[in-house]
């Protein structure tokens, strides 16, 4: 004997998952046939070509500019992340120099609540101990 409720739930779940798969396939088909590409740079070039009727040479040069621009942006992001890390560590060290050992322990606990305990250990592994990476000495 089969359970009609179970059959209905299974059918609804199957229809839902089928709809997701169909939607993903339709979206892929749309991008492949209208913009001919999935990457943002290729989509941008395709849109420019549709609007400006670019020559083959122009499309190639625009692609080169976009590739160069992406590389430069990634370099800048890398430098920015490094600068932010140093600034963050410097601020933590400055605060730590103002605190008593008991306050330092509480500060470390608050830091762990906000950022997570692993963040402190990753800092220590990157460039040696900082104020937060080393447990304070207890008297």
Q: What is the pLDDT of residues 68-124, one digit of tens each?
A: 998 999 999 888 888 877 887 788 788 888 989 899 888 888 877 777 665 555 554
* Proportion of the chain above pLDDT 90, given as a percent: 24
Angle at 57 (CA atoms; ends 51, 63), nearest 5 degrees: 70
Give the distance, in angstroms, between the CA of residue 66 and the centroid of all CA atoms in the same chain. 21
Averaged over 14-25, what is the pLDDT? 94
| pTM for the full predicted model | 0.44
- pLDDT of the residue at 64: 93
- pLDDT of the residue at 38: 62
Identify the band that residue 14 occupies on the pLDDT scale cut at 50, 70 and 90.
very high
- pLDDT of the residue at 61: 94
- Separation between Cα atoms, residue 136 and residue 19, nearest integer Å: 57
Identify the band that residue 56 occupies on the pLDDT scale cut at 50, 70 and 90.
very high
- pLDDT of the residue at 121: 52
What is the DSSP secondary-structure string of the chain? Answer: ---HHHHHHHHHHHHHHHHHHHHHHHHHHHIIIIIS-SSHHHHHHHHHHHHH---HHHHHHHHHHHHHHHHHHHHHHHHHHHHHHHHHHHHHHHHHHHS-HHHHHHHHHHHHHHH-HHHHHHHHHHHS--TTTSPPPP-
């Amino acid at each position: 004997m089969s359970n009609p409720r179970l059959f209905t739930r299974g059918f609804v779940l199957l229809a839902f998952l089928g709809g997701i798969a169909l939607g993903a396939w339709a979206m892929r088909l749309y991008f492949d046939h209208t913009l001919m590409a999935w990457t943002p740079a290729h989509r941008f070039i395709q849109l420019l070509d549709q609007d400006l009727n670019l020559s083959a040479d122009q499309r190639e040069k625009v692609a080169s500019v976009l590739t160069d621009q992406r590389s430069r942006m990634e370099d800048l992001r890398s430098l920015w992340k490094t600068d932010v890390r140093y600034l963050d560590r410097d601020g933590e060290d400055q605060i730590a120099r103002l605190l008593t050992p008991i306050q330092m322990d509480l500060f470390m606990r608050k830091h762990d609540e906000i950022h997570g305990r692993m963040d402190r250990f990753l800092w220590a592994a990157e460039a040696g101990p900082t104020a937060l990476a080393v447990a304070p000495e207890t008297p």
